[in-house]
């Protein structure tokens, strides 16, 4: 997805959620500074690893059950905190899409094993970027939900899961398996407001399903 296509949706999200575009754009600068010594690669380089089929793993309570039914094929793309659960299943993702809000240890482990990590900047994760972004040892791509910069990309998406789907679609994936995606029953997280989480998942569903381009197959459980 090009930023020109994403921007109207982004503006709707800002209005609905009460977030600040200026905060998002300020966070990008923090992320870029925090990753000066990382192995930064371009989005196009990372995109070469995405094939016609991808499995994008969400972090719903039913992830393990869904994996048992759907399996995992093609390019394996994990969203945020799903990584630890996948490692426990013996699945090493090819890519991780994260805003660093969650179980960071397994994400660093996957990075050290060579997984490409898409590190995302948004208005309220500056502290997380400062603390963790520089610790990723594998290839890193920087992403923003606002205007792209010379080294930060925007392929669309709001939460880790739907952003991962947007990345897969942008680079030509035609069939996307979605184990661990449940828009009605999220994984609980300490300190998280259930009402806010529900609104975020509403946006995720819209981005994944309502904005899905013709010819791309979405496969759930």
Over residues 42-58, the pLDDT tens digits come to 999 999 999 999 999 99
Place of tokens 């942008």: 170
- Mean pLDDT computed over every residue of the chain: 95
- From residue 154, alpha-carbon distances to 1, 21, 144, 150 in Å are 8, 14, 5, 11
Q: Is 114 left (phi over 0), alpha (psi -120 to 50) or beta?
A: left
- From residue 82, alpha-carbon distances to 5, 49, 105, 188, 216 in Å are 28, 20, 12, 13, 23
The tokens of 4 are what? 């020109």
Choose between 189 and 52: higher pLDDT: 52
The tokens of 150 are what? 């010379």
Q: Is 142 left (phi over 0), alpha (psi -120 to 50) or beta?
A: beta
Please check the confidence at residue 178 and state whether its pLDDT lies above 80.
Answer: yes
Q: Are 66 and 87 in contact (CB under 8 A)?
A: no
Domains of the chain: which residue ranges? 3-184+192-219
Q: How confident is the model at residue 185 (pLDDT cuts 50, 70, 90)?
A: confident
Please check the confidence at residue 188 and state whether its pLDDT lies above 80.
Answer: no
Please check the confidence at residue 189 and state whether its pLDDT lies above 70.
Answer: no
Q: How confident is the model at residue 193 (pLDDT cuts 50, 70, 90)?
A: confident
């Amino acid at each position: 997805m090009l930023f020109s296509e994403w921007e109207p949706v982004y503006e709707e999200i800002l209005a609905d959620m009460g977030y600040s575009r200026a905060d998002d754009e300020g966070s990008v600068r923090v992320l870029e500074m925090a990753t000066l010594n990382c192995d930064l690669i371009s989005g196009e380089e990372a995109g070469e690893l995405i094939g016609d089929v991808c499995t994008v793993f969400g972090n719903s309570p039913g992830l393990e059950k869904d994996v048992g039914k759907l399996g995992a094929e093609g390019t394996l793309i994990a969203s945020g905190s799903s990584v630890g659960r996948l490692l426990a299943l013996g699945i090493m993702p090819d890519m991780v899409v994260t805003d660093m809000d969650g179980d960071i240890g397994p994400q660093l482990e996957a990075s050290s094993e060579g997984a490409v990590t898409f590190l995302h900047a948004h208005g309220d994760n500056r502290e997380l970027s400062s603390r963790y972004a520089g610790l990723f040892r594998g290839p890193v791509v920087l992403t923003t939900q606002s205007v792209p910069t010379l080294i930060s990309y925007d392929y669309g998406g709001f939460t880790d899961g739907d952003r991962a789907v947007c990345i897969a679609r942008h680079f030509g994936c035609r069939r996307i398996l979605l184990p661990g995606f449940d828009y009605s029953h999220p994984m609980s997280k300490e300190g998280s407001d259930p009402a806010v989480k529900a609104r975020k998942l509403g946006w995720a569903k819209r981005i994944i399903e309502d904005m899905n381009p013709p010819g791309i197959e979405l496969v759930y459980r």
